[in-house]
Amino acid sequence: MQSAFATALLEPELPPPAGLVAPADPTQRFNVYRNNVVFGLVRALASGFPATEQIVGAAFFAAMARAYVLAEPPRSPVLLQYGETLPDFIAGFAPAASLPYLADVARLEALRSRVHHAADADAVSPSILARLDPTGLQQMRCRLHPACALLRSSHPVATIWAMNSGAMPLQEIADWTPEDALVLRAGQGLTQRVEIRRLPPGGGAFLGAAQEGLPLGEAAAIAFTETTDFDLAAALAALFTDGLITAIQTA
Amino acid sequence: MLPIATGTGFKPEHFAALRESPRSIGFIEVHAENYLGDGGLPHAMLADLRRDHALSLHGVGLSIGGEGALDAGHLRRLRALCDRYEPQSFSEHLAWSSHGGVYLNDLLPLPYTEATLKRVRDHVGQTQDVLGRRILLENPATYVSFGASTIPETEFLAEIAARCGCGLLLDVNNVYVACRNRGEDPADYLRRFPHQHVGEIHLAGHDATTDGHGAPLWIDHHGAPVADPVWALYDEALRLCGAVATLIEWDNDLPAWPVLAAEAAKAQAVLDGLRQAA
């Protein structure tokens, strides 16, 4: 019974399962469940991807989200991370092909949800730096905070996100360059909030390498290879002042 | 046990208002699944409120009425959540929401037969064993019934409660919505409900509308004030059950806190009236 019921919920063309009883048309009644399931999930996606919705408009987003829901319904009763695969779906969604940056904006918003719910952890104090000589610092490997995430995009994703989330006025982007974005939690306890920051040149390469567990000296070399504009001192300071490091391993 | 008072569903939008006037309501209720993330602001808020408020954890994803086995991993996560917050109550629904590994995000109806009775009994028993506590099981809002059903819903719930030792969550709005949709008398359903097992009452708003063919249809949407006929049924429910912890559910088109608090106060006045009369 539930197999036919569940299948018909997600396939609008199918008739309702046999055996339903109501004092009105059972198909009409079954459609209430169809609507609850699909509309409820579309609404959940809209709340997790507000900038993506802002870019394409509510009607387009609802149609795209509905197609996603029918293709990839949730596999868990915990919906907090539902939509993690929506960005890939968007990348292959033909009607959105004229917006090649849309999938990356959605990736940024998926990371925003993940960071919002990620585990709490204490950051390493910046005072640790005083105990390291330059060689020690070069060889130091870091474990980054579970509540931070990096997105390296070939589009100006942080700027597009900011303009479509009310953080920046909407205007033409004259300099269409790739951007690296850092998603992190700022503040503590009840005052914490998720922030999205555009990283300076080389910042994404450095942070990505550090996140993979490479020694900071190697991470810096990778960043310098990408751009001579990389500011190592500023990138190191940010790691500590933003509380992004939860453990270190020296030598 | 929840205090015999009125509470509201907690939404983060109302955090500041609740914190400014602690104990303005009798308890708060949250959907357990919204707090199964690892950390961050949701847990910071709930932990903060928990210090001043009795808590009801309300599960919406266990699929107790499902044909398949219960999700053991989900049950373990719920146990951990209970251990962390020590709620005064844990409740779930006489419904299913998962099938074949897909979570359908709605509380779906099941036929009431000897076979489904045994299954639900097993699932409630297993849930209580893993959680290490007595749970409350809620009557569903439904839009269809099944030709295969042989047991009235009130008898089905009475049997589950008697055999499993669980309590029942009487959702008065669901009674109204489901009975009207079945063409039955909600007051008659209420009289036949096993009152002695009721550990909590839910009140919520619904939409009295029509289907695509113009036939009347009542939809449980938790997005409006409690309707007058539901308030009338609530009076009757309290007369039958005695004073019971009562929750105002408002999940969609969320109002400002004073509006929700006023709904809770309205229910509290009915509860207080009953206790004075007693």
A115-156 confidence digits (pLDDT tens)? 999 999 999 998 888 888 888 889 999 999 999 999 999 999
- Choosing from A65, A99, A133, the residue where a domain stops is A99
- Does the residue A104 lie in any domain? no
pLDDT of chain B along its 278 residues, tens only? 999 999 999 999 999 999 998 778 999 999 999 999 999 999 999 999 999 999 999 999 999 999 999 999 999 999 999 999 999 999 999 999 999 999 999 999 999 999 999 999 999 999 999 999 999 999 999 999 999 999 999 999 999 999 999 999 999 999 999 999 999 999 999 999 999 999 999 999 999 999 999 999 999 999 999 999 999 999 999 999 999 999 999 999 999 999 999 999 999 999 999 877 76
Structure tokens at A3: 């197999």
* Tokens 């009130």 sit on residue: B154
The verdict on A133 and A230 lying in the same domain is yes
- Does the residue A115 lie in any domain? no
Check if the beta carbon of residue B239 is closer than 8 Å to that of residue B193. Answer: no
Residue A249, SS3 per DSSP:
strand
- Choosing from A69, A99, A129, the residue where a domain stops is A99
- B146 and A31: CB-CB below 8 Å? no
First and final CA of chain B: distance in angstroms?
A: 21
- Does the residue A224 lie in any domain? yes
Note whether A174 contacts B: Cβ–Cβ < 8 A. no
Per-residue pLDDT tens over the stretch A25-71: 999 999 999 999 999 999 999 999 999 999 999 999 999 999 999 99
Mutate to test the interface with A, among B11, B20, B41, B49 (most CBs of A within 10 A): B41
The verdict on A133 and A58 lying in the same domain is no
The verdict on A179 and A238 lying in the same domain is yes
Provide the pLDDT for residue B278.
65
Say how far residue B265 (Cα) sits from the centre of its chain: 19
Provide the pLDDT for residue A251.
65
Q: What is the mean pLDDT of residues A75-82?
A: 96
The verdict on A125 and A85 lying in the same domain is no
- Does the residue A158 lie in any domain? yes
- Choosing from A99, A134, A156, the residue where a domain stops is A99
CA angle, B133 then B139 then B144, to 5°: 145
Provide the pLDDT for residue A134.
85
The verdict on A44 and A163 lying in the same domain is no
The verdict on A72 and A131 lying in the same domain is no
Query: In the CATH hierarchy, which fold is given to the domain comprising B6-277?
Result: TIM Barrel (3.20.20)
Sign of the Cα torsion B233, B237, B243, B245 reads: negative
Which of the 8 DSSP states describes residue A100? T
- Does the residue A172 lie in any domain? yes
**Domains in chain A: how many in total?**
2
Note whether A25 contacts B: Cβ–Cβ < 8 A. yes
Note whether A36 contacts B: Cβ–Cβ < 8 A. yes
Per-residue pLDDT tens over the stretch A193-251: 999 999 999 999 999 999 999 999 999 999 999 999 999 999 999 999 999 999 999 86
- A189 and B44: CB-CB below 8 Å? yes
Provide the pLDDT for residue B149.
98
Which residues fall within 8 angstroms of residue B142, CB to CB, at 6 or more apart? B109, B177, B178, B181, B182
The verdict on A197 and A227 lying in the same domain is yes
Provide the pLDDT for residue B7.
97
Provide the pLDDT for residue B267.
97
- B48 and A79: CB-CB below 8 Å? no
Q: For strand B145-146 and strand B96-99, is the pairing parallel, antiparallel, or unpaired?
A: unpaired
- B215 and A24: CB-CB below 8 Å? yes
Check if the beta carbon of residue B243 is closer than 8 Å to that of residue B274. Answer: yes
Q: Which domain holds residue A9?
A: 1-99
